[in-house]
Amino acid sequence: MCGRMAMTVPPEAMAQVFGAAPANSLPEGPNYNICPTNRIAVITGGENRPRQMEAMRWGLIPHWYKKPNDGPLLINARAETVLDKPAFRSAVHTRRALVVASGFYEWTKDAEGGRDPWYITRRDGAPLAFAGLWQSWTDPANEEELRTVAALTIAANTPMQAIHHRMPVIVEQPDFGLWLGEQGKGAAALMRAAGDDILQWHRVDRKVNSNRASGPELIEPWEPDNDS
């Protein structure tokens, strides 16, 4: 599961890391508390199409929805079943993307049932690239087009199971082109859990439990004497 993310640098700077041209109207950054339905930075590309970073709504809207809330909020897609689900079946073949983040959050519960947040990043300090699927949706009321995206998840690797039983599908830099469709077929092989040594994490303050919280302090290591 991936339900909250952070982007600690401006999206335009992140676009350079991925060799992508930044589109107009990218989401403002940094943003330390990116929530579902927010506009997020996504890398698109493909055979004979240059890489571009653009903004998409986090939460894929299937083309048959009459309104964005006509059905479940599809912020994630399970990699194990994505080929069987009507909402994702076409996108996994023709509309793959990279969802870009500096880190993401997961939660555990304490003995009293309180939700303890953890901030998760790559050990090597590189940005995270999640395998994503996108869908263009047109609002029947005004014919306005909206690009929407979901991140793929997979069963967690052994270390990550201490926090959550699911994790995002993380695409490594040499495989960016394959996932985006720049290098022919074979992208299905990338829908797997990351290696055990890829990620690291630390506890952060419970302030991030609120989707209204903001600021760089949200990703700072939590100390017992300043719990909220």
- How far, in Å, CA of 140 to CA of 68, rounded? 11
- How far, in Å, CA of 128 to CA of 102, rounded? 6
Q: Is the pLDDT of residue 1 over 70?
A: no
What average pLDDT does the chain have? 94
pLDDT band with cut points at 50, 70 and 90 for residue 77: very high
Task: Please tell me whether residue 14 adopts helix, strand or coil conformation.
Answer: helix
pLDDT digit string (tens) for 195-225? 999 999 999 999 999 999 999 999 999 987 6
How many distinct structural domains can be found in the chain?
Answer: 1
pLDDT digit string (tens) for 144-170? 999 999 999 999 999 999 999 999 999
Summarize the confidence of residues 99-125 as an average pLDDT: 96
- How far, in Å, CA of 2 to CA of 36, rounded? 10
CB 36 within 8 A of CB 1: no
State the pLDDT at residue 33: 97
CB 128 within 8 A of CB 105: no
- How far, in Å, CA of 195 to CA of 226, rounded? 33
pLDDT digit string (tens) for 8-37? 999 889 999 999 999 988 998 899 999 999
**Which CATH number characterizes residue 205's domain?**
3.90.1680.10
CB 133 within 8 A of CB 147: no
HEC string of 88-100 equals CCCHHHHCEEEEE
Range of the domain at 167: 5-226
| Residue among 71, 114, 103 nearest 4 (CA) | 103
pLDDT digit string (tens) for 113-122? 899 999 999 9
State the pLDDT at residue 2: 76
